[in-house]
Chain A
């Protein structure tokens, strides 16, 4: 029996001082002052206020696999006596006291029920027994539902509290870097791989395993553990390969955040979280704080479509994105980063000197403790993809832009969409998600519906839907598992009978061969004329 704490549980009413006191006490190395000087408690307090948390149940002795691996790999061989046991704090929106909880566990009537506990469960935080870095595996409910707020990558995670099974229906694990076996990039990648492990069924790496995998085939110039030097994009890509996924790295143009929003939207919709690498700048002092990596977990869309954001006049649904929610290990889970259109001169460290960059707001505090002064200049996006997702986003958007221009030039959308044209919703999807969506679509009926729901399809598809208001006009599907030299389109679903007839007649007309300017449009039209067209 190595447990360091005698009481099997503690129950407390929630408030910020109590959270700080418990984090300090269970970390065993930190004073309340040192915990309260961190940025996490204030952020968590605002988060718990949004979740209406009222009660904390503490499990003083808790074995956490992620920490145990880090402990076994590093801390156990320190001369100092670091503990192998963590503690876990559970958060509930129901108010109850220790007597009621004790009665529930004892099978007595104390006014508290298992059902009430389950309904009011908001999640847990593991407290690591380490100096300074105390917030371990954290699974908290997302922000309450609100129009346009979407967390596609969250999953159900379970917890068991003294035999009571508790469920967090929508979360993605978060943890703070420990600065020893893990840096910020490790923590961000750990969160991202927690999501992809569930989606693509791969091994869940612990922070120390990620740091090792990142440098196994890409040796660093200096030691990686203790990890004070962080991870590069190339190193993170190696760690992604170590779990059998393929890394997709994208450069973010500094003068255009539509590309960033479009890419994040396209992959997040398929439940694939992404790493966003940024340069942090304190606008109050013009000091560059450094380069930082976060795990993007969700976004908020505006209720109204955006103006055409790109030169072609194509309106993208992704351009509605107002903010993203990111697991930022220096702030907390689901931290907001807003696309507020602020362009700032930033030295990006690439030898060009300061350049104007479209930046995002952050929840970081600068040295004077002020929030909203620290801005993030995006550098890269890194997406871990299942190996069969081969066709990239940029191939799809070119074809769709060509098709959109063809429809507009040929005046075929008149009467079907308003003056501002259709909005294109372009994202990666799966056969199951697609069929579930089509099954619930009132615009699809009869034989056409039967055909689309019962035909075999690739596991992963790119989907581009032209929408006007709440009405779908056209769906174009691409086989995402295909080879890029195959110029065929998987299928086209035209929701309007008249437009469908017109497009099918154009597709079989020999004059189509002459319209080679918009090659992507011809690809789509040809798929309507092929014998195998759905």
Chain B
């Protein structure tokens, strides 16, 4: 593994990173990432929607 950027290099890394992220290519990549993230979190959000039938089903065995 290569070393992470040190403090002296940090400004350069940040400038480069933000330039990419604010470019049209970067924005497009962020939009795709956001869509993937939302899709992946969907089952966790839906887990709170418990159907009334399941809430009132008796556990009898």
Question: Which residues in A have some Cβ–Cβ distance to B below 8 Å?
Answer: 183-185, 188, 228-234, 249-253, 256, 258-259, 262-263, 277, 280, 289-293, 310-314, 330, 349-350, 379-380, 392-394, 397-398, 401-402, 404-406, 408-412, 414-418, 496-499, 501-502, 505-506, 509, 511, 514-515, 517-518, 520
B60 in contact with A291 (CB, 8 Å): yes
B4, B27, B36: which contacts A416 (Cβ < 8 A)?
A: B4
10 A–B contacts, CB within 8 A, in A order: A183-B60, A251-B47, A292-B59, A312-B39, A379-B57, A409-B29, A417-B1, A501-B10, A502-B10, A505-B10
Question: Contacting B48 at CB < 8 Å: which of A228, A262, A392, A497?
Answer: A392
Nearest CB on B from A520, distance (A): 8
Give the total of B residues in contact with A, Cβ under 8 Å: 48
| Chain A facing B: main interface SS | mixed
List of B residues within 8 angstroms of A520 by Cβ = 37
**Complex A-B, nearest 7 residue pairs according to Cβ-Cβ distance, in ascending order:** A312-B40, A498-B4, A230-B60, A405-B33, A290-B61, A415-B2, A501-B10
Which of B's residues lie within 8 Å of A, judged by CB?
1-7, 9-11, 13-14, 17-18, 20-22, 26-27, 29-31, 33-34, 36-41, 43-51, 53-61
Q: Which residue of B lies closest to A415 (CB)?
A: B2
**Which residues of chain B have C-beta atoms less than 8 A from A258's C-beta?**
43
Residue of A nearest to B44 (CB): A394
Q: A233-B50, A498-B6 are in contact. List 13 more A-B contacts (CB 8 A).
A: A183-B60, A184-B59, A185-B59, A233-B56, A291-B58, A292-B59, A380-B54, A380-B55, A401-B40, A409-B26, A497-B6, A502-B17, A511-B21
Residues of B within 8 Å of A252, CB to CB, are 47
Q: Contacts A312-B39, A499-B4, A501-B10 given: A398-B44 contact, CB under 8 Å?
A: yes
A183 CB contacts on chain B under 8 angstroms = 59-60
With a cutoff of 8 Å between Cβ atoms, the chain B residues found around residue A406 in the complex are 30, 33
Q: Which residues of A contact B60 (CB under 8 A)?
A: 183-184, 228-230, 290-292
Is A256 in contact with B33, judged by CB distance below 8 angstroms?
A: no
